[in-house]
Amino acid sequence: MMQTDRVKLSLLTEVDLDELIVLFKEPHVMDFIFPMIDLSDEERKKTLQSKIKEIETDVGYFWTVRDPKTKELMGIVNLNPIPRTPEKMQIGWIFSPRFGGKGLAYEASKLIFDYGANIKKVSPIYAVIEEGNLPSVKLANKLGLTWFDYYMEEDLKVNLYKWEV
């Protein structure tokens, strides 16, 4: 568990899955999450269960982000292999727009960025960001990641941002 005064991160468990499915249904939450955008609730749940397996095998990490006082789910953050290139580690975040503009995504992402860079000694760390997702670009830049490359996923331009020691 990692925590600040405003965010509490806990590793993802089966208990969190139904609540995350509800979060994913909030307007605009999945707008830029192309691998999961067209999935059914059951398919999303299976994807999340595979992320729990990554945690159990020390391959990747997914944390829920909650308000430490109310325990309300605000989002999730991750540090895990990029699916198309599993030798590369990515940092990512999905937050409810209800918590936007308050610096909470940065606060939570900074905790896991520091964990990856300083504890797990991950370098480089990538962020995979769809073209047009300006809030995520801003957050990646604030974490110290810079544009590195892009690839096309069907008709979608996906940008890679990178940080390394």
> Residue 84: is its pLDDT beyond 90?
no
pLDDT, tens digit (0-9, with 9 covering 90-100), for 114-141 = 999 999 999 999 999 999 999 999 999 9
Q: What token pair was written down for 1?
A: 């568990």
Residue 61, pLDDT score = 97
For the chain, percent of residues with pLDDT exceeding 70: 100
Distance (Å) of CA 98 to CA 10, 25, 63, 72, 92: 20, 13, 19, 11, 18
> Residue 35: is its pLDDT beyond 90?
no
Which band of pLDDT confidence, cut at 50, 70 and 90, is reported for residue 74? Answer: very high
pLDDT, tens digit (0-9, with 9 covering 90-100), for 88-98 = 999 999 999 99
Average pLDDT over residues 27-49: 91
Average pLDDT over residues 75-104: 95
CATH number at residue 61: 3.40.630.30
Residue 52, pLDDT score = 97
Average pLDDT over residues 148-164: 95
Structural domains in the chain (count): 1
Q: What is the DSSP string of the chain?
A: -EE-SS-EEEE--GGGHHHHHHHHTSTTTTTT-TTTTT--HHHHHHHHHHHHHHHHTTS-EEEEEE-TTT--EEEEEEEEEETTEEEEEEEEEEE-GGGTTSSHHHHHHHHHHHIIIIIS---SEEEEEETT-HHHHHHHHHHT-EEEEEEEETTEEEEEEEE--
Domain encompassing residue 132: 2-163
Query: What's the one-letter identity of residue 4?
Result: T
Which of 46 and 83 is assigned the larger pLDDT?
Answer: 46
